[in-house]
Structure 1
Amino acid sequence: MPELSLFAAFLVGFSGGVHCVGMCGGIVTALSLQAGRRQPVALQLAYNLGRIASYTTAGALVGLIGSVAFLSDTLYPVQQALYLLAQVMLILLGLYLAGLNQAVLVLERWGGRLWTRLQPLFGRLLPVQSLPQALAAGALWGWLPCGLVYSVLVAALASGSAVDGAALMLAFGLGTLPNLLAMGWLAGRLKRLAQDRRVKLAAGMVVAGFGFWGLAMWFGIGR
């Protein structure tokens, strides 16, 4: 898988920090401040390790499903459709990160039903007192409906490989890590950086550029 794809996934995770904090802020607060005291760093890391593990697992699953399209030449049109869909999603993600379009957020509605089933399980784990509990809570947190997550999952589906799909989602998860870990003393600085219009526009255009580049390759431009 091209390194640019991994870099794009990481950039989506990092540049979407404002969205991540908005979506996950309540959960981060609930996990960080329990019984009136701040949770230790080890538990914070365990929460996010569980969350990223869920992203990686989901990427492996959809990549495995997508690999079916690569088993036979008769499924070549499906391969092409998945490739084109992934490039379009990259473009839409880039426009969202640049603050120019919010179409990807429609995808969040799709995961609502799953989260309503998992949310009670998440609540039972609170208050978290141990690392295994923190890992379990983080793993459930990873299935919170998120348009950014679902958009990168489309690229994982088009990768046609469980390993590549997992790698894409791992890169995305690592990109979200700084913002969610830094909701404490560094939150203000990172939030200002992520909200800077120039930073958002530049990051969004880079991500969208990957999508346009992929479409150009598909149409044979630049070969």
Structure 2
Amino acid sequence: METDIVSPVSDRLRVELILDAASRLFLSPGAGRMSMDDLARELGMSKKTLYRHFPDKRSLLTAVLARQFDAIERALAAAAEETQDQPFAEQVRGFLLAAGRELERIGAAQLATGRGDAVLRKYVEQRIDEVVYQRLDALFRAGHRRGMLSAPPRLLGEITRGAVERLLNSPLPRELDHSAADLLRMAVDTVLYGALRPGDEQEVSS
């Protein structure tokens, strides 16, 4: 008979323990096969206790992903703060490097939801759009208003989205022995420096 070894802890702490363990299982290779039985064994906890906090696997995985996206938002806010006084190209590069690193961490989650629950997949896509792409679009629009981009911001946004999504779901990083974030930086440099107007870097830094 299973016993809940974490029973003395508060409900709030127990939820954090569940989310920590679910994150390790869900965001690791082969995470699409994770079951509530696996999680219960990992925690030394009964499934009854799990279901008391999360009524089903979908609600648990949604909570795991929500916490991951909260972390991504904090990382992007920190990157924006670090580069706010730097030239525009550095602001874009800093943002995308942070986004690439953070999204690469949930690549397994994207893969799992893509092969499994359509509701979770939609949630992931919606949160990536809100947390990453809408902020990126705003950054490109701001650069365009300041006359720093020769290409339409919507075009740059679509190109960058395509690069992000392709690299995060491609074998290319492994084949080239680079992280997806490294290759994203190279792709962004190629696109961005072709779109920046000559002399803009001096204008921004003055």
Structure 1 length normalisation: TM-score? 0.31
Structure (1 or 2) with the larger CA radius of gyration: 2
The higher relative CO (CA closer than 8 Å, separation ≥ 6) is in 1
Structure 2 length normalisation: TM-score? 0.33
